[in-house]
């Protein structure tokens, strides 16, 4: 079988082991819930240490196995989260609570200061709509199944890295390219959350959040 046939084949998926996917499910929800709780704490004006404490408590509670913890029920309803959403929340949480000298806001590190740029927000919204419609068999081909092919992560990496390389990295951090590259590399290495590249890149919660972000930006920038 030729290399090209292997790359485009959807018939040889590699799925994560149950133990790893279960660990990811709990870890992912723990990070996102911690970020949410901390955000609510900041919004309500509670002390920074209390925000941090609440976030840590919810994260630990989510990782507790069994039906008395949120991870059990969130997994029942929504399964595991995408790598993208978990990394975004972890990054946002880190920026919020890390010691400021380590992360000067004027010099963004590898991951973006504003992680979701306009282009990526629009791309994520568009991709989510396509995957949603695909779930209802609107298209003549099954796009979700393509996510089991090596071609999807390779195509995404090429589409992001080549323009970046041609521009010698200018503007890459702000455009969120490193985030998506990291997500795809993590997927390739770990197969999380499901062995399907689309699930690693975007989940329905992130897709809904992108709608809110996109709408907010549109309201802010319109004349």
Q: What residues line the site for other proteins (CB under 8 A)?
A: 1, 5-7, 9-15, 18, 21-22, 25-26, 65-67, 71-79, 131-132, 134-137, 140, 142, 144-145, 147-148, 150, 153-154, 157-158, 161-162, 164-166, 181, 184-185, 188-189, 191, 194-196, 198-199, 202-204
Of the pair 18, 220, the CB lying nearest other proteins is at: 18
Q: How far is the CB of 79 from other proteins (least distance, A)?
A: 5
**Cα dist from 44 to 31, 39, 51, whole Å:** 20, 9, 10
Q: Which CB sits closer to other proteins, 38 or 83?
A: 83
CB of 202 to other proteins, least distance (A): 8
CA 57 remoteness from chain centre: 23
Minimum gap (Å) between residue 103 Cβ and other proteins:
25
Nearer to other proteins, 94 or 129 (CB): 129
Nearer to other proteins, 42 or 169 (CB): 169
Q: What tokens appear for 118 in the block?
A: 């306009």
The residue (of 11 and 220) whose beta carbon lies closer to other proteins is 11
**Among 162, 188, 159, which Cα is nearest to 83's?**
188
Distance CA 194, CA 79 (A): 10
Q: Give min distance, CB of 66 to other proteins, in A.
A: 7
Tokens of 166: 């041609």
How far apart are alpha carbons 191 and 15 in whole angstroms? Answer: 6
| Tokens 């959807």 found at | 10
Neighbours of 14 (CB within 10 A): 9
Question: Please, what sign has the CA dihedral across residues 42, 46, 52, 57?
Answer: negative
- To other proteins, the closest distance from the beta carbon of 154 in angstroms equals 5
């Amino acid at each position: 079988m030729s290399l090209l046939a292997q790359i485009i084949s959807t018939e040889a998926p590699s799925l994560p082991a149950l133990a790893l996917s279960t660990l990811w499910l709990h870890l992912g929800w723990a990070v996102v819930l911690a970020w949410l709780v901390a955000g609510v704490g900041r919004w309500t004006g509670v002390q920074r240490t209390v925000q941090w404490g609440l976030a840590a408590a919810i994260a630990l509670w989510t990782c507790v196995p069994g039906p008395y913890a949120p991870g059990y029920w969130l997994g029942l309803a929504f399964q595991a989260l995408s790598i993208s959403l978990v990394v975004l929340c972890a990054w946002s949480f880190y920026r919020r609570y890390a010691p400021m000298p380590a992360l000067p806001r004027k010099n963004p590190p590898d991951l973006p200061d504003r992680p979701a740029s306009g282009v990526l927000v629009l791309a994520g919204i568009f991709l989510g709509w396509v995957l949603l419609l695909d779930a209802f068999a609107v298209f003549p081909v099954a796009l979700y199944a393509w996510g089991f092919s090596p071609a999807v992560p390779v195509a995404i990496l090429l589409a992001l890295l080549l323009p970046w390389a041609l521009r010698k990295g200018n503007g890459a951090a702000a455009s969120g390219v490193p985030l998506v590259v990291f997500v795809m590399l993590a997927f390739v290495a770990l197969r999380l959350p499901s062995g399907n590249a689309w699930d690693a890149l975007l989940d329905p919660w992130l897709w809904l959040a992108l709608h809110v972000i996109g709408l907010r930006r549109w309201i802010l920038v319109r004349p």
